[in-house]
Structure 1
Amino acid sequence: MEFNLPLLEKLTQTPGAPGYEDKIRQAIMDEIKGDVDEIWVDNIGNLVAVKRSQKADAPIVVVDAHMDEIAFMVNHIDDNGYLQVLPLGGFDPKTLTAQRVIVHGKKDLIGVFGGKAIHVMTPEERKKSPELDDYFIDLGLPKEEVLKYVSLGNVVTRERNLLEMGDFVTTKSLDNRISVYILIEALRRLERVPFHVYALFSVQEEVGLRGATVAAQTIQPDFSICLDVTLANDMSGVGGNKRITLAGKGTAIKIMDGRTICDSRMVDFLKSTAEREGISWQAEIMNVGGTNTASLQTLGKGGSIAGAISIPLRYMHQVTESAHKKDVQDTISLLVAALETIDKHHWAR
């Protein structure tokens, strides 16, 4: 299976801050419209694409990949034309120093996260962990020029090209565009569709699982598989139980996270599918964080049999994130095999 770098580049470089997913939604729609039977956008902005089973009364399985990315919103412009921002999603502020961003105003403007130079910091300031309020965005323009293009409420995304780094791909927004990539590739490879497959490219996950909350109540899935990234803290100084997953050791089958205990039947199904198909996998067990699995599991009528397939990711919610290409390919293989054989599993308790 060839890795489609041009597609991943398109997905990671297209902006889509929470609540402002228009451009990434259109990019996804352009990619999948020939591979599905039906497609629509709901009121909150979720993109839903369906591959239908030949059996009209077949159960529904939702596969979710949220399309928003962590970002910022302009909430102040000072007398020198510098911008201050609020976060849209969680950031590690210490990674923002001197990093480039794109301010999406009347036209896109490149900016830099600026802050006090270390040369003029006090000893106490040098020891202090920076916070977002310690930074400003410098557009290199005087205030009168800034105001021609930038308004309060404009969103800001990171600026970072896609690169191959050894066996990894590294860029911004792999959380969660790598899952969007996987779902698109899976839709193209599906040959057998025993259940109706609803591909859900959801909005506003980074600010509270909002899109999936709406979709779960609308679609009422019988089964749910969430695609998202997970922590790969496989580096020096991190203890074994804090590593969560290891990059390059295969896709991760979620057992639990801070908001979900996955249905044991779905966990068993994904494990047995991976083992039957010879797909490398590892268990994901963590007591922090959360994904759309929580909404999809609980908010439909009667709930759904829900689980998740996760992609190990280094440097999550930082300026650049890195994923091992083998883990990505293993995730595609597991998802396709699961969707094509989901009717063969014994689902009764």
Structure 2
Amino acid sequence: MELLKRLSEAAGVPGREEEIRRIVREALSGVVDEIQVDLLGNLIAHKKGTGPKVVVAAHMDEIGFFVSHIDEENGFLRLEPVGGFDPRTLIASRVVVHTEKGPLLGLIGIKPIHILTEEEKKKEIRIQDLFVDVGLPGKEVKERVRIGDPVTLYQTFAEVGELVSGKALDDRVGVYVGIEALRRLKNHEADIYFVATVQEEVGLRGARASAFQIAPEIGVALDTTLACDMPGVQPHEQITKLGKGVAIKLKDSASISHPGLVRFLVKLAEEKNIPYQMEILPRGGTDAGAIQLAREGAAVVTLSVPTRYVHTVVEASHKKDIEAAIQLLTAFLERCHEADLRL
């Protein structure tokens, strides 16, 4: 899990994924035939084959912020979000402000409850109400921080019982699954492109550009999905459960999986005794939605790692589900040339 730990703890908001890109390039050195980076920042790793052209996509970016304002008097920072946040999860968090002169640790603050009016207590928390305190005088902050500097949440990676937990498992765990599958891959006919994509959290942008360039016949997105197996959630609302295997997605807001690919993955999982579960996600999407619409269109599917507490700093995935995802993706890449895509 050392690679997953490095990926989780590294910083990479949409459009600023360079630290993740370096880790991925290093991890795939000697594993693939060639690596390139396009103008948008997607890392495209090619493992050559003579069979169908297959894209496997996992996004590098994490939800985060850009500095939008610096208070000249006291140095407090205001934030512009890039990606979707629940403001309730941000109060009393630590962040890292990534400046040209080096990282600054900061604290997300809010007006104390002790001095709120009764009307203020009734209001929902908004990101606009939050600020970052870096503990320095305003003049020094102005010298070190610029408008547009990226800000990421601070959290260390940890193993919690049978789970792993940290920030940005969405979607560093997908990146990890893709890398590990390529490392284990032996014989294959498919012409495989693993794309560590950028800017997924703000509209599947990296996947759209890379899929247009590659023009795949088959696309597999790797991502997290909601595991809502927790108190207060009815069984029919849970989406997936931790420890029950990799999730084979049927649909989400961005794509409907190709039925031939779904059947083929189910068959592979059952043949190889890989634990799996079926997934329908009512809201949210993955890179598959962009790949599906590239050029003349592609047959797509998403393999998901069930994850609790998505879009927080304590995202949690089960080790067995991560392993199941690696095993199923590896088996798929070895045999995807056998899949029947006729409709």
Identify the residue that residue 266 of structure 2 maps to in structure 1.
271
Identify the residue that residue 154 of structure 1 maps to in structure 2.
149
State the distance in 1 between where 2:290 and 2:130 align: 34
Over aligned residue pairs, what C-alpha RMSD do you find?
Answer: 1.0
- Of the candidates 4, 7, 14, which is equivalent to residue 8 of structure 1? 4
The 5 Å alignment of 1:228-247 reads 228-247=223-242
Identify the residue that residue 298 of structure 1 maps to in structure 2.
293
1:139 aligns with 2:159: no
Q: Does the 8 Å CA contact 1:68/1:205 hold for their aligned counterparts?
A: yes
Q: Give 1:279 deviation, angstroms.
A: 0.7
Identify the residue that residue 322 of structure 2 maps to in structure 1.
328
1:209 aligns with 2:213: no
Structure 1 unaligned segments of length 5 or more: list them: none
Residues 149-205 of structure 1 deviation map (CA, whole Å, 9 limit, x = unaligned):
100010101110001111100110000000111111111000012111100000000
Q: Give 1:344 deviation, angstroms.
A: 2.3
Residues 83-142 of structure 1 deviation map (CA, whole Å, 9 limit, x = unaligned):
000101001100111100000012100001001122222333334331101110000001
Identify the residue that residue 28 of structure 1 maps to in structure 2.
24
Q: Does the 8 Å CA contact 2:165/2:314 hold for their aligned counterparts?
A: yes
State the distance in 1 between where 2:296 and 2:193 align: 18
Read off the aligned partner of 2:239 and give its amino acid letter. Answer: I
State the distance in 1 between where 2:314 and 2:342 align: 43
* Total equivalences in the alignment: 341
Q: Does the 8 Å CA contact 2:249/2:303 hold for their aligned counterparts?
A: yes
- Of the candidates 74, 97, 102, which is equivalent to residue 96 of structure 2? 102
Read off the aligned partner of 1:50 and give its amino acid letter. Answer: H
State the distance in 2 between where 1:112 and 1:250 align: 37
The 5 Å alignment of 1:127-206 reads 127-206=122-201
State the distance in 2 between where 1:6 and 1:348 align: 41
Identify the residue that residue 48 of structure 2 maps to in structure 1.
52
Read off the aligned partner of 1:335 and give its amino acid letter. Answer: L
TM-score of the two chains, using structure 2 as the length reference: 0.97
Stretches (4+) displaced over 4 A: none
State the distance in 2 between where 1:22 and 1:201 align: 11
Q: Give 1:348 deviation, angstroms.
A: 2.4
Q: Give 1:238 deviation, angstroms.
A: 1.0
State the distance in 2 between where 1:63 and 1:288 align: 22
Give SS of 1:43's match. coil
Give SS of 1:298's match. coil
State the distance in 2 between where 1:76 and 1:320 align: 28
Give SS of 2:45's match. strand
State the distance in 1 between where 2:267 and 2:56 align: 19
Q: Does the 8 Å CA contact 1:52/1:193 hold for their aligned counterparts?
A: no
Structure 2 unaligned segments of length 5 or more: list them: none
- Of the candidates 58, 65, 73, which is equivalent to residue 72 of structure 1? 65
Q: Give 1:305 deviation, angstroms.
A: 1.0
Identify the residue that residue 286 of structure 1 maps to in structure 2.
281
Q: Give 1:320 deviation, angstroms.
A: 2.0
Q: Percent identity?
A: 45
State the distance in 2 between where 1:69 and 1:309 align: 19
Read off the aligned partner of 2:257 and give its amino acid letter. Answer: C
TM-score of the two chains, using structure 1 as the length reference: 0.96
State the distance in 1 between where 2:124 and 2:243 align: 31
1:341 aligns with 2:335: yes
Give SS of 1:180's match. helix
